[in-house]
Structure 1
Amino acid sequence: ELEGDLREEADLYRQNLIETVAEFDDEALEVWMECGDLSRDLLNRAIRKGVLAGKIFPAYSGSSLHNKGVQLVIDGVVDFLPSPLDSPEVRGHIPESEKELIRHVQKDKSLCALAFKTATDQHGELTYVRVYTGKLKSSSGVFNPRVGRMERITRIFRMFSNDRDPVDSAGPGEIVTVIGFKKTVTGDTLCEKQDPIQLESMQFPEPVVSVAIEPKTSADRDKLEEVLQRLAKDDPTFRVTSDIETGQTLIHAMGELHAEILLHRITQEFRVPASTGEPRVAYRESLNMTTRGDEESQIKVGEKTLFGHVVVELRKNPKSVTPSYREELDPVLAKELKPYLPSIKEGLLSAAGSGPIAGYPMVYLDVVLVGGSVSPDSDERAYSMSAATAVRKAYGGGKPALLEPHMQFEVTVPEQFMGDVINDLNSR
């Protein structure tokens, strides 16, 4: 019970609420004009009409982590949001066509349902399904237009937290879980094969938080990989990638809490001991000036001597994200070297792929073949080795540098904070 100033402030906000929502319900408006107040039922009815009209958007504060305000949100869903019968139609299209299809909730008997979530527990894989029209029946088949095949429904359950209530069927508006699907994933439409429909596909935002993860023992590596793939299948907003440069396995989530929940499931639910950390920085290397390398090789193989001679020039090019190759040769020399050019190119780019400081990938670099020579003992292997050695020789004269990642971003702030934000950015 509120007291004092808080009660007065709450009463003021209540009157503002009543004044706003009364215009959506004639009876509520009349009662408010006569009595200056509304009963809870009448107030909820007026709010609901405003929500259904798209004019009111209730906002709640709370925290599911601390179980604060959750019950009020659930009550609001029941009191204000539309029931399936309030949504007169469902729009989709013919599979592999753009022709629109409309299904009416109360009129159409043909099945139209959406698999909006998959989950894996100790009993196997569950698919959460929302039925729009028709009926979903246990021990029957449904058609998945995305994969173009029938899926078998083994059992249907109505879920109550972790408890399951088996049911024989589910109708419009019902949300149930299904066991038995093999190919169905989040966002798939379920329908009848003789009357197919494809609902609009679900769009998922890109993850914003990345965490490096590895098993605590090598024996758990395969198990961790299996668990990560299973979680990624259940949650489309969760991604798993492997950084080729750093060798790390990275998990990408929608926020810190999302990542913490996933890590808790990995270690507690699936019992895979794992360590986490920040992703390693992917450095790059480059040269600050043009440089040249000249290498002539004479390799002894048995009684035979293999010859190769390459002259390369390394030039800085800010537009070249990866080392690019080209030739600037005298026409006569180009003709003589033609049989060996593929081997020369391979050797040059292979050596130019990693930098001289710490072996990070090279960027902003043009690799230009500018000279060389041939002899009766010329050999592809020798030219490839000469090319690689010429690049490594050239590195020393190019003033190599280690490059750190940089990013471009836009900051939008209220005008009164502009100076403080600019000063903060400049100090970094």
Structure 2
Amino acid sequence: MKEYKTEEIRNIALVSHNGAGKTTFVERVLFNTGVTTRLGDVQNGTAVMDFEEEEVARHSSIAAAIAPIEWKNCKINLLDTPGYVDFIGEVNAALWVAEGAAVFVEAVAGVEVGTEVVWQAAADRNLPRMVVINKMDRDNVRANRAYNSVIENLKGNFVPLQLPIGEGPSFKGVVDLLSMEARLGDKDERGPIPDDMQDAAEEARLAVIEAAAEGDDELMEKYFEEDTLSDEEIVVGLKLAMAQGLCIPVLYSAPQAGIAVVPMLNAMTRLFPHPGETGPFQAASADGSAVEYPVSDDSPLAAFIFKTREDPYGKMSYIRMYGGVLESDTRVWDANIDSEVRIGALQLLRGKDQIPVKRLHAGDIGAVVKLGDAETNHTLCDRGSKLQLPPIVQPNPIASVAIHPVSQSDVAKLSQAMNRLVSEDPTLSWHSEKATRETILTGMGTTHLDIAIKKAQSKFGVNLTTTIPQVPYRETITKTASAEYTHKKQTGGAGQYARVFLRLESLDDDAEFEFDSEIFGGAISAPFV
């Protein structure tokens, strides 16, 4: 794969509820562009993007994966994310480094709970979005019902860029409202708009032009004067309107059959911004002050580790470039641990496949193996220009299990395995509960925890069983109380006499037990206190 500069790159996160067809779309794109010679299938375990053992077994994505696609002199980094809400951490990581989000909606089910979750996550990042009503060739599909589900359950100004030609098994293609022509079949054959759709297409194109005009004042003036815009002006206006959150395009596809995939790639390339168009990136300098630089090769080096993948042989760090150019076989500075790290061979990732490259330009996404102590959320920079990018914001874990090693050898490996699991997935955490003497693993749900336990066995050779955590019963002091006691004892010889004064006070919730003596002058020897 050739080198691509910042303005030729598009980083797009594919997000949805589980089962909406994101991975199938990527597999179709890989096949259509000649990257793979056989169409990968999620259900039979041949998908390039679902390569983890649990993904193959469950026929579903559980981790974000990357597919760089060369299309129309651009490189599109597609970030395929899991649909289960348990793995929202993977979705957040992908959205953090993307400049746009394609939200897939399954054509029969419509908007689901997971759709609303990822929609809000993308909105929180102020990302340009498009909606893809997917699997249009399934039985019982009703295009109007699917579209109404979008506009009733999601917030935004939705503007169809396409009209579906047929629905369900009779889905043949789409009417492209930008070029005003039909795009038919898996070969993307161009043809005239069907006669019975002419009026609907004209009306829908008018809505597209109006949405584009709202994106720029000059385009709005021209639209008022001439009552129309050119195709290129429509694209420019839509791109600006999407960046401002003024409109959200709606597209249709059936990737399993290969229908309407090419128009979607064209829309992604033309409507989503390149990394340099989204404004400067913000970071903290060595003295803690806030600085900002454009996303450019000319800016100081800033490479952000947004994901880590662990395996028995080490770890692979996924890197998003913000400033400068990162070269293979160089040394850089980890600003978070204030230490030098060595960059070995840089890679582009396609699923688990690694494509060696000499350098990564600003805005691009790649990977490097064995970065020492560098972890997720760390920033790689030049020693003479230290920068620290803000960490990915993740939710707090909400479900817990107590884990128990099966054998003594598992006990010895437990701590390291847990640390590596947490390094790979920041939404996991673990700790030892002193009161119950249990080891507690916490995550985003039962499925999340179940897969983590299986990863500990398959990746790190640690066999674990789980139980419901015990709840430690605790009492605490809520107010100050005082007491005193007079001790007298006479058993022959010198008698014993003492007065004891005691005061109990509450501490902060996180504070440990404290014992203080207020005896002055050494009147009583330390062993008696």
TM-score by length of 2: 0.48
Answering whether residue 161 of structure 2 is matched by residue 25 of structure 1, we say: no
Partner residue in 2 for 1:6: 142
Which aligned pairs between 1:271-290 and structure 2 lie closer than 5 A?
Answer: 271-285=461-475
Aligned match for 2:244, one of 18, 41, 53 = 53
The letter of the residue matching 2:416 is E
Which residue number corresponds to residue 157 of structure 1? 347
Contact 1:151 1:180 in 2 (8 A): no
Aligned mates of 2:319, 2:141 — CA distance in 1: 48
**Pick from 78, 81, 93: which aligns with 2:284?**
93
Query: Displacement of 1:45 after TM fit?
Result: 7.6
Asked whether the equivalents of residues 143 and 193 of structure 1 are also in contact (C-alpha less than 8 Å), the reply is: yes
| Aligned equivalent of 2:201 | none
Contact 1:155 1:180 in 2 (8 A): no
The Cα shift of 1:315 comes to 9.3
Shift of 1:186: 1.6
Secondary structure of the 1:25 match is: helix
Going from structure 1 to structure 2, the CA distance change for 1:279 and 1:108 (only over 3 Å counts) comes to same
Q: For the residues of structure 2 that align with 1:17 and 1:49, how far apart are their CA atoms?
A: 14
Structure of higher RCO (CA pairs closer than 8 Å, 6+ residues apart): 2
Deviation at 1:34, TM superposition (A): 9.2
SS of residue paired to 2:524: helix
Q: Which aligned pairs between 1:191-206 and structure 2 lie closer than 5 A?
A: 191-206=381-396
Alpha-carbon distance in 2 for matches of 1:143, 1:126? 17
Q: Is the 8 A contact 1:21 1:50 kept in 2?
A: no
Query: Contact 2:336–2:378 at 8 Å: present in 1 too?
Result: yes
Gaps of 5+ in 1: 61-70, 300-304, 329-333, 346-428
Q: Contact (CA 8 Å) 2:158, 2:248: kept in 1 or not?
A: no
Q: For residues 506 and 279 of structure 2, what CA distance do their matches in structure 1 show?
A: 58
Contact 2:293 2:299 in 1 (8 A): no
Counterpart residue type for residue 275 of structure 2 = P
Deviation digits for residues 348-392 of structure 1 (CA, Å, limit 9, x no counterpart): xxxxxxxxxxxxxxxxxxxxxxxxxxxxxxxxxxxxxxxxxxxxx
CA distance in 2, matches of 1:4, 1:248: 50
Deviations, residues 134-162 of structure 1 (Å, cap 9, x unaligned): 21111111122233332211111111111
Whole-angstrom distance in 2 between the partners of 1:78 and 1:255 = 36
Correspondence for 2:364: 174
| Distance (whole Å) between structure 1 residues aligned to residue 308 and residue 140 of structure 2 | 50
Q: Secondary structure of the equivalent of 1:193?
A: coil
Unaligned runs of 5+ in 2: 1-135, 152-156, 161-203, 214-218, 252-260
Find the aligned partners of 1:170 and 1:327 in 2 and give their Cα distance.
62
In structure 2, relative to structure 1, the CA distance for the partners of 1:297 and 1:272 (3 Å cut) is farther
Q: 1:255 to 1:138 in 2, by over 3 A?
A: same
Q: Which residue does the alignment assign to 2:306?
A: 116
What TM-score do the two structures reach when normalised by structure 1? Answer: 0.58
Contact 1:191 1:197 in 2 (8 A): yes
RMSD: 4.9
Aligned partner of 2:376 among 186, 189, 198: 186
Q: Over alpha carbons, which structure has the higher Rg?
A: 1
Does the 8 Å CA contact 1:24/1:49 hold for their aligned counterparts? no
Provide the aligned length of Structure 1 versus Structure 2: 317
Distance (whole Å) between structure 1 residues aligned to residue 522 and residue 486 of structure 2: 16
Q: Is the 8 A contact 1:211 1:251 kept in 2?
A: yes
Residues 212 and 234, structure 2, Cα contact 8 Å, conserved in 1: no
Aligned pairs (5 A) from 1:23-422: 23-26=210-213, 48-56=239-247, 81-98=272-289, 100-106=290-296, 108=298, 110-285=300-475, 338-340=523-525, 342-343=526-527
Task: Report the more deviating stretch, 255-264 or 78-87.
Answer: 78-87
Q: Displacement, 1:241?
A: 0.7
In the alignment, what sits opposite 1:349?
Answer: none
Displacement of 1:248 in angstroms is 0.6
Letter aligned with residue 6 of structure 1: R
For residues 94 and 191 of structure 1, what CA distance do their matches in structure 2 show? Answer: 11
Specify the code of the residue in structure 1 equivalent to 2:159: L
* TM-fit CA distance, 1:204: 3.6
Deviation at 1:85, TM superposition (A): 3.1
1:284 match: secondary structure: coil
